[in-house]
Amino acid sequence: MQKEDQILQRRFRDLAYMADSRGIVLFTDFLNLHEQNLFYEIKNELPNLKYFSSGGYRDAERKMFCFCGDYSLDNEDEIDYPISCLHIKPKNPKFSDSLTHRDILGAVLNLGIERNKIGDIIMENNEAYLFCCSSIYDYIINQLTKVKHTMVSTSLIDIRDFTYKPNLKPVTGTVSSVRLDSILAVAFNGSRSSLSGLIEGGKVFVNGKNILYNSYNLKENDIVSVRGYGRFIYAGTLNQTKKGRYMVKVLLYQ
């Protein structure tokens, strides 16, 4: 295990024991899929708390984890995550560059902000919605004035007003079983043998957990993320063919 991974897991332990002993709610910064998996690896070793996670909206990939030592809080809806949503848009859309996720992220990181303070960035019609730690939103609003050659305005919006409907492409195919490697072959139009190396190489995550064996059976509505390929929702089995194969459906994030 990398030294950075060990440090992060120690951080998880510190947060868990502090939340438990003080009866308070504590949060991580934003975690990527690998870092989320590091939490799941040691979750059973941690105090018996309520653990939640959120990236600010339903389909978020980068998430904060909540260590809830306050037993008066019964469910996740009562958790006030320190997450803010910023709307970034060109001041003059007519003369704007074509802006991408990479452009927005690069401009924000160039302000000296660490990556773990930034969550997902959603691009819509050459505008961006950026999720960040609430402690830095004011700094970004004041400092982020230009992306590439485009002057931009940055404003805070109520996170409850943010709505996002992902563009999902349905893909169907037949498989002999709902093994992970078989479903990957359907989702990314490849062979099981060519895609199984991604699983063994630690590049496949199911609901944030790193899965390392090909025979893992997916369940309906599992979210599968594959580094370098994208992610999809396993929508389930549609029917069974006369030859005993299963017709399955996945929804690819576009």
Return d(Cα 100, Cα 111) in angstroms, integer. 17
- 1 pLDDT band, cuts 50/70/90, is low
128 in helix, strand or coil?
strand
- 13 pLDDT band, cuts 50/70/90, is very high
Q: How many CA atoms lie within 13 A of 65 on its CB side?
A: 24
Range in 11-25, 30-44, 192-206 with the lowest mean pLDDT: 192-206
Return d(Cα 31, Cα 50) in angstroms, integer. 18
Task: Find the Cα–Cα–Cα–Cα dihedral 5, 9, 14, 16, rounded to 10°.
Answer: 150
Q: Hey, how many other C-beta atoms are within 10 angstroms of the C-beta on 153?
A: 12
Number of H helices, E strands in the chain: 6, 14
- CATH fold, domain 3-78, is Ribosomal Protein S8; Chain: A, domain 1 (3.30.1370)
Residue that is written with structure tokens 């699983």 in the block: 199
b/e sequence 20-48, b meaning 16+ C-beta within 10 Å: beeeebbbbbbbbbbbbbbbeeeeeebee
The domain spans of the chain are: 3-78, 83-161, 168-253
- CATH fold, domain 83-161, is Alpha-Beta Plaits (3.30.70)
Q: Report yes or no: 64 and 83 within 8 Å, Cβ to Cβ.
A: yes
User: What pTM does this model have?
Assistant: 0.85
Query: What are the pLDDT digits (tens) for 180-213?
Result: 999 999 999 888 888 888 999 999 999 988 999 9
- CATH fold, domain 168-253, is 3.10.290
Give the pLDDT score at 240: 86
What are 209's two structure tokens? 């957990």
